[in-house]
């Protein structure tokens, strides 16, 4: 790691001070983030309910192409989209129904369990060739409530542990009737951490979202923060106005029945949940040092959660307000005129994830040094 990046990560580590601008502007950092943050955590992929047996979803995670497949035994599995013969991609992006994978390069054939089951002109392969040495490389793949996550790392804790108190608090928001209501993405001209910081920021709601989010979040003195190792939470009670206008799930009780939950999940994920069965995922993928893609998925229960069009309009309005701010912040970082500022109490969730980023990247720099 370059010395100036390392110095920026080490600066103000014990203070409530934000990251230096170069951590949002230096293009040498992104490959390190992919390797040492995104490949060492859990990454959200999507809903397993959208995959029938034989369906393959080809998508990107941590800068690599991966396959998510529901195999014949009904289990959802993940593999690198890389042929073990000579590294060709096996499948093009998107969802497709397959019985087996046939590599487009030399037509080696793999079953949905990732095992090699056929090679053309096998007689030409050397004697040392064995089918079992050439399976597709698996990735860890676990689910919470049918939502799929993958990890490139064997060292990250099991998903349910990683997710902190989410399984306990939101374990009953999803029902058999839950459906995908909204799916869309936004291209944003800012570094992924800039947009992530903003989504962890509970200080800007009144100024930036006076008509959209602020009326749903309610007054600041009722905000509660909770932290586990990788996950943080802004809990607010739903407002009287929200309760008047919305149904809630009958089986929810206590704090969960009246709660508006906004989780930040390291490194690039957010989950918002309301007691009307709404579950919204926001995942921020880096594209370049100053571009990211924000992927939005909102789930709901027909007849209970607000209508899809209404939800989409609400998320759209809020996200556009956030895009205007974060693109402005990126220009501020790029100007060179910013020195790290001080964090308000309502920006504690940002500091939590900045500490994790520092920990993951500095561990690397120690490794590289030794």
Which is nearest to 37 in space by CA: 365, 370, 359, 290?
359
Counting contacts by CB under 5 A, is residue 297 touching Fe ion? no
Counting contacts by CB under 6 A, is residue 2 touching ligand FES? no
In this chain, which of 322, 323, 348, 361 binds Fe ion, going by CB under 5 A? 322
In this chain, which of 2, 106, 206, 255 binds ligand FES, going by CB under 6 A? 106
Q: Which is nearer to Fe ion, 77 or 196 (CB)?
A: 196
Counting contacts by CB under 6 A, is residue 105 touching ligand FES? yes
Distance set, CA 152 to CA 39, 62, 193 (Å): 5, 9, 21
Counting contacts by CB under 6 A, is residue 135 touching ligand FES? no
Counting contacts by CB under 5 A, is residue 20 touching Fe ion? no
Q: At what angle do helices 348-369 and 192-200 cross, to 10 degrees?
A: 140
Counting contacts by CB under 6 A, is residue 5 touching ligand FES? no
* Cis preceding-peptide flag for 267 (omega within 30 of 0): yes
Q: Which is nearer to ligand FES, 57 or 90 (CB)?
A: 90
Piece in contact with ligand FES (CB under 6 A), picked from 37-45, 85-93, 205-213, 330-338:
85-93
Contacts of 159 (CB under 8 A, 6+ apart): 42, 142, 143, 144, 149, 151
Piece in contact with ligand FES (CB under 6 A), picked from 98-106, 150-158, 196-204, 294-302:
98-106
- Contact of residue 12 among ligand FES, Fe ion, none (CB under 5-8 Å per partner type): none
In this chain, which of 6, 75, 85, 172 binds ligand FES, going by CB under 6 A? 85
- DSSP letter for each residue of 251-277: T--HHHHHEEEEEEETTTEEEEE-TTS
Q: Percentage helix, strand, coil, to 5, in the chain?
A: 35, 30, 40
Counting Cα atoms < 13 Å in the Cβ hemisphere of 355 gives 17
- Contact of residue 322 among ligand FES, Fe ion, none (CB under 5-8 Å per partner type): Fe ion
Counting contacts by CB under 6 A, is residue 183 touching ligand FES? no
Piece in contact with Fe ion (CB under 5 A), picked from 44-52, 80-88, 185-193, 315-323:
315-323
Q: Which is nearer to ligand FES, 88 or 143 (CB)?
A: 88
Piece in contact with ligand FES (CB under 6 A), picked from 69-77, 79-87, 285-293, 296-304:
79-87
C-alpha dihedral over 40, 45, 48, 50, to 10 degrees?
-160
What DSSP state is assigned to residue 343? P
- Contact of residue 243 among Fe ion, ligand FES, none (CB under 5-8 Å per partner type): none
Q: Which is nearer to Fe ion, 41 or 198 (CB)?
A: 198
Cα distance between residue 215 and residue 217, in whole Å: 6
Contacts with Fe ion by CB under 5 A lie at: 322
């Amino acid at each position: 790691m370059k010395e100036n990046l390392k110095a920026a990560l080490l600066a103000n580590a014990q203070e409530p001070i934000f990251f230096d601008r170069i951590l949002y502007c230096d293009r040498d950092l992104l490959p390190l983030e992919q390797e040492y943050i995104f490949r060492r955590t859990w990454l959200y992929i999507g809903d397993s309910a959208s995959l029938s047996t034989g369906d393959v979803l080809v998508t990107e995670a941590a800068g690599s192409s991966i396959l998510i497949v529901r195999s014949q035994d009904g289990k959802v599995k993940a593999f690198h989209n890389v042929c073990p013969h000579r590294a060709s991609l096996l499948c093009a992006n998107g969802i497709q129904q397959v019985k087996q994978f046939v590599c487009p390069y030399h037509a080696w054939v793999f079953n949905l369990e990732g095992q090699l089951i056929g090679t053309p002109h096998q007689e030409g392969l050397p004697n040392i060739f064995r089918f079992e040495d050439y399976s597709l490389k698996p990735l860890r793949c676990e689910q919470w409530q049918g939502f799929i996550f993958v990890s490139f790392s064997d060292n990250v804790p099991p998903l349910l542990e990683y997710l902190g108190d989410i399984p306990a608090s939101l374990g009953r928001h999803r029902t058999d009737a839950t459906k995908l209501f909204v799916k869309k993405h936004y291209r944003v001209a800012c570094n992924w951490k800039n947009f992530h910081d903003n989504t962890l920021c509970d200080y800007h709601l009144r100024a930036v979202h006076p008509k959209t989010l602020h009326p749903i979040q309610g007054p600041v003195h009722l905000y509660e923060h909770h932290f586990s190792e990788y996950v943080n939470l802004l809990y607010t009670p739903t407002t009287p106005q929200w309760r008047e206008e919305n149904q809630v799930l009958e089986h929810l009780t206590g704090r969960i029945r009246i709660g508006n939950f906004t989780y930040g999940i390291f490194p690039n994920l957010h989950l918002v949940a309301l007691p009307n069965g709404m579950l919204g995922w926001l995942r921020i993928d880096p594209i370049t040092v100053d571009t990211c893609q924000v992927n939005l998925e909102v789930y709901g229960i027909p007849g209970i959660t607000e209508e899809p069009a209404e939800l989409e309009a609400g998320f759209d309005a809020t996200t556009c307000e956030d895009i205007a701010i974060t693109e402005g912040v990126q220009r501020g970082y790029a100007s060179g005129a910013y020195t790290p500022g001080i964090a308000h109490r309502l920006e504690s969730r940002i500091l939590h994830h900045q500490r994790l980023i520092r920990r993951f990247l500095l561990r690397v720099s120690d490794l590289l040094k030794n």
